[in-house]
Structure 1
């Protein structure tokens, strides 16, 4: 080693500069620290609730959530640094919001399953309420299942083609005042109350002297379903890359054929998911069925003539009776309705994954 290099090493400072306060280096909390914060927060929240005499577990939970956020931030600030504390604060808030959203959902599912499983069996699913007094045990939900399937199916047949074509117009052809007006009214219809749609169809029934039937209820449900289909399909079509359209048009393919063969198949997975969500949105509507279908305790497989029942109407009808047996039937019907909606979501996920564009070989 040369003499100059040795002198250079001797002249180098021996004490490194301490890291800044907000550096990511330094002391760190263990990986189990969030669990410790949660345990401490729960203990503090329960202790404070017991000392204050609070009877509601919701108050205990909210106070525990506040303690969890405060403990996470203060402890991280003291042990690590303020930069990590801010990150821990954001993470804690996200976890608290997630728990606040999930707990009511699981509570609803737990109560519905625990109370609806009492009479949920093959007999309940394959029999109607014909000849069974509402205050006595027995009877089933078969007629309501048939009514729901037929009414939702007819509403889907009416609203999906109209909604799909409307979305294609807005994305592929619309651009003027008419497209803006259609978009505005679709947004307005998204928040329309179900009773308004039922009253609209009821006015048509009175005008043309039509009798109550499943078709009338399906038309009201189609009005509620249409804006959801339009908005979801419109957003899915907007996600299709313009390069696919330009490549098809460059090969001399007409625009309508490009839409049918390229644009819609590319967005078909998302469109199907939107349709399933729209079906789930109308499956639980009760007001239009009460106005237009009237409900029935008998099996009516003809949606074009005579009164029908549906699962939401059946739940309301059984709850109105007020007996223990009717309450059990109402909870079991609610369990059937939840299972129906969950099945639709599983089907939508399967179709979306099946029709998703393949990115690899």
Structure 2
């Protein structure tokens, strides 16, 4: 009896230590990358760096372009993704939904460079005829929509059926139940999934190379080429000059801080609404 207890205690400690080692192996590379970006990027931060053009040693146009791209892509992709996820979770018991779900899963794993090439051929060449901000936003939307749709579907499936049944029993229609009862119950999962999708598109480079091209000046219109932080980082990393590479490290740090700030702001706002 004692030996059996000792063996179980040993197994408990062993797997506890094993899990701790796995956590360390997962976190240490991430922290080392973050530390490297901070050490190399922090010395570059200044008002001029954040507000001036590339010619004056700044990344102001790239910051502005990234914010515009995130806003445009979210405006296009998040509503479509959420509505698609609602359909798949609440009304998707048919053959059409099965096909739609399969296509969505394929698009989720699609390489971003393929999305960029497709957007270049269809949007830049055939439809618009030039590199532009709107072409970049549409290309990023094809990356955003499948992720948001999938996370929305999974979040809605986690809501107990008893919640739906209670609403229907009170006389609410199916659509009213979905919008007023099920969606608020899954709000936490929806926010998390949307943030993950936005964080991914914020760092995408390949689609932007093929669609917005880049610009050393501030925003000039949705139908014109535009700067973005991922493009700035990519181009600076290819430069042989230490000053340009240092500027790329600074841009990388700003991109991380932007995504982190967005994450914190949305969570604080959603947390305040949930308390109310």
TM range, smaller chain: over 0.9
User: How far apart, CA to CA, are the structure 2 residues paired with 1:265 and 1:208?
Assistant: 39
Specify the alignment match of 1:241 in structure 2.
160
User: How far apart, CA to CA, are the structure 2 residues paired with 1:118 and 1:265?
Assistant: 43
Report the secondary structure of 1:321's partner residue.
Answer: coil
Structure 1 gap ranges (5+): 1-18, 24-80, 133-137
User: How far apart, CA to CA, are the structure 2 residues paired with 1:218 and 1:21?
Assistant: 64
Specify the alignment match of 2:81 in structure 1.
163
Specify the alignment match of 2:110 in structure 1.
192
Give the TM-score, by structure 1 length.
0.73
User: How far apart, CA to CA, are the structure 2 residues paired with 1:85 and 1:243?
Assistant: 42
Deviation, structure 1 residue 209: 5.0
Specify the alignment match of 2:7 in structure 1.
82
Aligned length: 275
CA RMSD in angstroms, aligned pairs only: 1.7
The answer to which structure has the higher helix fraction is 2
Deviation, structure 1 residue 351: 4.2
Higher RCO structure, 1 or 2 (CA under 8 Å, sep 6+): 2
Pairing of 1:178-327 with structure 2 (within 5 A): 178-204=96-122, 205-208=124-127, 210-302=129-221, 304-327=222-245
Deviation string, structure 1 residues 328-361 (Cα, Å, up to 9, x no partner): 1000000001101111221343245345589xxx
The answer to whether residue 248 in structure 2 is matched with residue 330 in structure 1 is yes
Give the TM-score, by structure 2 length.
0.94
Report the secondary structure of 1:21's partner residue.
Answer: helix
Could you tell me whether the CA contact under 8 Å between 1:143 and 1:310 is conserved in 2? Answer: yes
Deviation string, structure 1 residues 265-304 (Cα, Å, up to 9, x no partner): 22223212211110001101111111111111111252x1
Deviation, structure 1 residue 308: 0.6
User: How far apart, CA to CA, are the structure 1 residues paired with 2:36 and 2:68?
Assistant: 28
Specify the alignment match of 2:68 in structure 1.
150
User: How far apart, CA to CA, are the structure 1 residues paired with 2:269 and 2:148?
Assistant: 16
User: How far apart, CA to CA, are the structure 2 residues paired with 1:258 and 1:22?
Assistant: 53
Structure 2 gap ranges (5+): none
User: How far apart, CA to CA, are the structure 1 residues paired with 2:84 and 2:153?
Assistant: 8
The answer to whether residue 263 in structure 2 is matched with residue 345 in structure 1 is yes
User: How far apart, CA to CA, are the structure 1 residues paired with 2:272 and 2:151?
Assistant: 19
After the TM superposition, list the runs of 4 or more consecutive aligned residues in structure 1 that deviate by more than 4 angstroms: 355-358
Could you tell me whether the CA contact under 8 Å between 2:119 and 2:210 is conserved in 1? Answer: no
Structure showing greater radius of gyration is: 1
